[in-house]
Amino acid sequence: MAFFQDWLASVFREERAKVYGPSGHIYTVDLSPGAVHTVVLWSKNFANLLENRASLKDALKKYDQIYLHFTITGLGGTFIERGVPPYQTALSQLEDLIVFVGHPRRITVRFDPVFYWKEGDEIRTNLHEFEKIAPRLQGYGIEDIRVSFAQWYGKAKRRAAKHNFSYIDPPQEKKQHDARHLVQVAEQWNLNLFSCSQDFLAEIHGIRPSSCIDGPYLQSLHPNREPVSTKKDGTQRPDCRCTESRDIGSYTQSCPHSCLYCYANPKI
């Protein structure tokens, strides 16, 4: 969403997307308005949409519902998320995004991932950035926050070694302890916390398991209450509760955000 705006606008104008999967499988997704219940977009920077670059905003106006996952970790602009805007810049986009999608309930913010690393003898984390972000979200009427802790896949571990980066992957007990702090902050600002594909977080009072693509919820928000699939998406991880959807993201495109923990990008 933060990049490849020309391609994204073109597939919505043409109402079809050719998708190149990770194993080389190619398939086409019908994007005609009658075939699309909700367009769900993920990003750490929605400037392309807000500034209507490549007429992207215009191309999306024909769809009944747009739902946004906006990732704001507090790490933007640091060496961990080098190409991501600072959280203050990201938060400043929310007002116009709410106008575009029509209601703050059509936006969820992802404080995702919570991240730990070592600098010298000091252990660092973005955990407490949530204390700065939460009141701003409440002020915009955002209610739903999705959280998870960084998962260090092999690709990310190799990248960390390449950059001599000392990441820390705390034990589950430490993550649960720190998640309770997130709950305290969320309760202070009347925010709902959801875990993403980490069921051990949902064991904590105040955190519910998440369906990031939530068919029943999207149906309740739809202007015509159009029905949609409620079946679990069989292509996702076992802990994932997302309902069926069609992904148009392509593995031929590499994100320039250059996040050190990224599980997908092979070029950083």
**Domains identified in the chain, total number:** 1
Report the pLDDT value the prediction gives residue 69, as an integer from 0 to 100. Answer: 98
Tell me how far apart the alpha carbons of residues 175 and 171 are, in angstroms, rounded to a whole number: 7
pLDDT value, residue 234: 82
Q: What pLDDT was estimated at residue 218?
A: 98
How far does CA 37 lie from the centroid of its chain?
A: 19
Q: Which domain holds residue 181?
A: 5-221
Residue 257 in any domain: the answer is no
Q: For position 124, what pLDDT does the model report?
A: 97
Structure tokens at 184: 């305290």
List the one residue out of 150, 2, 148 whose CA is nearest residue 89: 2
Assigned domain for 29 exists: yes
Q: What is the mean pLDDT of each run of 10 residues along the chain (268 residues)?
A: 88 94 84 98 97 97 98 96 96 98 98 96 97 97 97 92 95 98 98 95 96 96 96 85 91 83 75
* Residue 121, in any domain of the structure: yes
245 is a domain residue: no
pLDDT at residue number 21: 74
pLDDT given for residue 267 in this prediction: 66
Determine the pLDDT at residue 237.
Answer: 80
- Note the pLDDT of residue 236: 84
Three-state SS across the chain?
CCCCHHHHHHHHHHCEEEEECCCCCEEEEECCHHHCCCEEEEECCCHHHHCCHHHHHHHHCCCCCEEEEEECCCCECCCCECCCCCHHHHHCCHHHHHHHHCCHHHEEEEEEEECEEEECCEEEECHHHHHHHHHHHHHHCCCEEEEEECCCCHHHHHHHHHCCCCEECCCHHHHHHHHHHHHHHHHHCCCEEEECCCCCCCCCCCEEECCCCCHHHHHHHCCCCCCCCCCECCCCCCCCCCECCCCCCCCCCCCCCCECCCCCCCCC
| Tokens 């769900």, residue located | 40
Q: Does the residue 252 lie in any domain?
A: no
